[in-house]
Structure 1
């Protein structure tokens, strides 16, 4: 475990957009718990605590950052609400991981009209390295023509092809990702990214619209051309609000629906 900086709150000022006043008595721009939240996030990003690991207790963190336990608790409450950490009653607080069962449906919002949600069967159609198209490069915040990994797959539920997806990943991060590795890996794709490439998806933005299936998509999903579908474009981000995935999916919704929770 790395050692804490001599003045952790001050060193967080640039990352949190705030610092203490000269007297050290009160924050200048953001609440103190927000500065503690930024420091804990820095430790998560640096890998001081790995996905699935127990982080120090509130008391230990309060001593480390020289703040009250209540301040630490409020910071962790926000991190838990953002799915960066997970509280477990009687056990402590753990770094969230995509390998947790509850996390595996966080980014898949397509739910069955009847029955319980369950994992899809994946058929990898294509994996190749190519130069980023201009629009993909813009979304990934890289240069047009930079290396990206392109993945195309079909996801099926109960044997029925339901989703066609195309993914673009920054080549510099996902070196060594191959079709063979994707096929042999039996867990969630984001779990693979987390475990083998050190990249955890923290949040995502999505654009959703109604479209009609083109001939190629219709053939892959065993439906007629022009069948109504849901088009979902997702950009996923890791720590530091860094975009690390563009995903475009076409969803059949004859037996499924897109479900979201608003708060």
Structure 2
């Protein structure tokens, strides 16, 4: 259970009641309740895939109306942090579920779909601990020289190398990550991060540009150095906008295209 004191009523937060009372006075109550639920998610009270308490139970816990709790949960569900299941309740979203994992999978085959194509075949070229450069440290909110895990891998579809990736992860959150672990897990990488390290990626920012590969990159993807590639830099965050992954990928687009959905 959260140690943060709940609001006394739907009208105001408890004075001196910890994190809730520190919210700005103009913050709507449902936003304060959303913050408390996020606090519980961040600290692992409910694991990915698990059901959270019912709206009635949460309303009693926080001493607010059920409608206030419902509005907070509605926002968390719209942000893909929670998943409502008719007749079953509300669950913590997990990357093991298709509707969640495909939010982060942007490369689509020209023919068929990702279900027909099947999972990517992963070849781990490197997986080691190193010191964070100033650039990586800045992206991951670390100090220059802090430990990070560096991964370089190739993803192939139908045995055709298609994506060359470099990944940097905060060392403190991913202690013990190995190349064998990265290569052998059959599901999405983000699901493995959840299961083995308790880190859930909840959103990401990406930058795209067209580039030409250098000689090593061209060799890794089996293309000519004159082949245009799509460069994608992703910064992925866990709860409360804590950066947890910097990923840079080079994508071949001769048999795939990069798909985005705008709402």
TM-score after normalising by structure 1? 0.91
Cα separation, partners in 2 of 1:203 and 1:14, compared to 1, 3 Å: farther
1:245 aligned residue: 245
Cα separation, partners in 2 of 1:259 and 1:14, compared to 1, 3 Å: farther
2:97 is aligned with 1:100: yes
Deviates more, 1:210-219 or 1:241-250: 210-219
2:36 aligned residue: 39
Assess if the C-alpha contact under 8 Å between 1:235 and 1:243 holds in 2: yes
Q: Deviations over 1:32-68 (max 9, x none)?
A: 1111111111111111111110111111111211222
Deviation of 1:7 (Å): 3.2
Deviation of 1:88 (Å): 0.8
Deviation of 1:144 (Å): 0.9
2:6 aligned residue: 7
Deviation of 1:240 (Å): 2.1
Assess if the C-alpha contact under 8 Å between 2:4 and 2:19 holds in 1: no
Assess if the C-alpha contact under 8 Å between 1:12 and 1:35 holds in 2: no
Partner SS, residue 36 of structure 2: helix
CA distance in structure 2 between the partners assigned to 1:36 and 1:60 by the alignment: 13
Assess if the C-alpha contact under 8 Å between 2:82 and 2:91 holds in 1: yes
CA distance in structure 2 between the partners assigned to 1:165 and 1:34 by the alignment: 37
Partner SS, residue 180 of structure 1: helix
Number of residue pairs the alignment of both structures matches: 252
Partner SS, residue 61 of structure 2: helix
2:86 aligned residue: 89
Partner SS, residue 104 of structure 2: coil
Deviation of 1:5 (Å): 4.3
CA distance in structure 2 between the partners assigned to 1:111 and 1:183 by the alignment: 21
Deviates more, 1:61-70 or 1:233-242: 61-70
Deviation of 1:100 (Å): 1.1
CA distance in structure 1 between the partners assigned to 2:177 and 2:145 by the alignment: 19
CA distance in structure 2 between the partners assigned to 1:3 and 1:78 by the alignment: 20
RMSD: 1.5
Moved over 4 A (4+): 3-6
CA distance in structure 2 between the partners assigned to 1:14 and 1:254 by the alignment: 55
Assess if the C-alpha contact under 8 Å between 1:237 and 1:244 holds in 2: yes
CA distance in structure 2 between the partners assigned to 1:253 and 1:97 by the alignment: 29
2:251 is aligned with 1:262: no
Query: 5+ unaligned residues in a row in structure 2: which ranges?
Result: 8-12
Assess if the C-alpha contact under 8 Å between 1:4 and 1:64 holds in 2: no
Q: Deviations over 1:103-130 (max 9, x none)?
A: 2222121111221114211111111111
Deviates more, 1:211-220 or 1:240-249: 211-220
Assess if the C-alpha contact under 8 Å between 1:214 and 1:226 holds in 2: no
1:175 aligned residue: 175
